[in-house]
């Protein structure tokens, strides 16, 4: 009976995998903000005085939009830090933090700030970066996590994550905050 159940589970997984559409490798980029496009359009003006006037006007409008927080700029390093800070949250892909799989954070290394036990005997671990992770499996760790210990959290399957404490066998966790 157990063998039949295993085969059935494998068949279901294969069927589900076949049913999921393959994501396009090259997604269409997000449309450029109107303020930026208008600035770029100034380059097309052939008359030097008119082009300069266009640049001055559009840069002024861009600065006003930035001051009023209607538009925000972020460099690649800021985007990386933001993605790392959001690691573990199931957020929709809005295209604002980079594009493809090469930009995705696949693991995070940090240290334990504090730990507590959950009602089901697992751990709730607060990290030095402020994130909080909760154990969702029933594996027992040989030693309880202590402040200052190094943690590696890696992406697992089905929206879960593996947490490894100083290279020991990992436990399955989810991000709480």
- Of the three residues 67, 89, 117, the one that is the final residue of a domain is 67
First-to-last C-alpha distance (Å) of the chain: 41
- Of the three residues 18, 51, 67, the one that is the final residue of a domain is 67
* Domain count within the chain: 2
4 pLDDT band (50/70/90 cuts)?
Answer: very low
Whole-number pLDDT of residue 122: 87
Residue 46: domain span? 34-67
Asked whether residue 154 is assigned to any structural domain, the reply reads yes
pLDDT tens digits, one per residue of 164-174: 888 788 888 88
Which of these, 170, 124, 175, 130, lies nearest to 151 by C-alpha position? 170
- Count CA atoms within 13 Å of residue 55 on its CB side: 10
Q: Give residues with Cβ within 8 angstroms of 152, minimum separation 6.
A: 107, 108, 109, 163, 164, 167
Asked whether residue 60 is assigned to any structural domain, the reply reads yes
pLDDT tens digits, one per residue of 46-59: 999 999 999 999 89
Asked whether residue 56 is assigned to any structural domain, the reply reads yes
Residue 164 shares a structural domain with residue 114: yes
Mean pLDDT lowest for which of 85-89, 138-142, 150-154, 168-172?
85-89
Task: Give the integer Cα–Cα distance in Å for 50 and 71.
Answer: 25
What's the predicted TM-score (pTM) here?
Answer: 0.50
Asked whether residue 136 is assigned to any structural domain, the reply reads yes
Asked whether residue 1 is assigned to any structural domain, the reply reads no
Please report where in the chains the tokens 């290279």 appear, as a residue: 167
Whole-angstrom CA distances from 35 to 41, 59, 62 are 10, 9, 6
Asked whether residue 116 is assigned to any structural domain, the reply reads yes
Asked whether residue 74 is assigned to any structural domain, the reply reads no
pLDDT tens digits, one per residue of 56-107: 998 998 888 888 888 777 777 776 666 666 666 655 455 554 555 556 667 8
Asked whether residue 54 is assigned to any structural domain, the reply reads yes
């Amino acid at each position: 009976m157990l063998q039949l159940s295993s085969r059935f589970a494998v068949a279901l997984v294969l069927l589900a995998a076949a049913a999921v559409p393959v994501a396009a490798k090259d997604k269409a980029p997000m449309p450029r903000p109107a303020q930026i496009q208008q600035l770029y359009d100034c380059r097309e003006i052939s008359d030097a005085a008119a082009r300069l006037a266009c640049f001055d006007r559009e840069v002024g409008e861009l600065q006003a939009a930035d001051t009023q927080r209607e538009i925000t700029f972020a460099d690649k390093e800021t985007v990386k830090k933001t993605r790392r800070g959001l690691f573990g949250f199931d957020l929709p892909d809005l295209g604002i933090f980079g594009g493809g799989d090469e930009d995705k954070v696949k693991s995070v290394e940090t240290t334990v700030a504090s730990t507590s036990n959950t009602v089901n005997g697992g751990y709730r671990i607060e990290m030095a970066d402020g994130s909080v992770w909760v154990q969702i499996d029933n594996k027992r760790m040989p030693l309880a996590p202590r402040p200052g210990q190094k943690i590696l959290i890696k992406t697992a399957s089905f929206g879960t994550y593996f947490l490894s404490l100083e290279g020991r066998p990992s436990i399955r966790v989810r991000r709480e905050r």
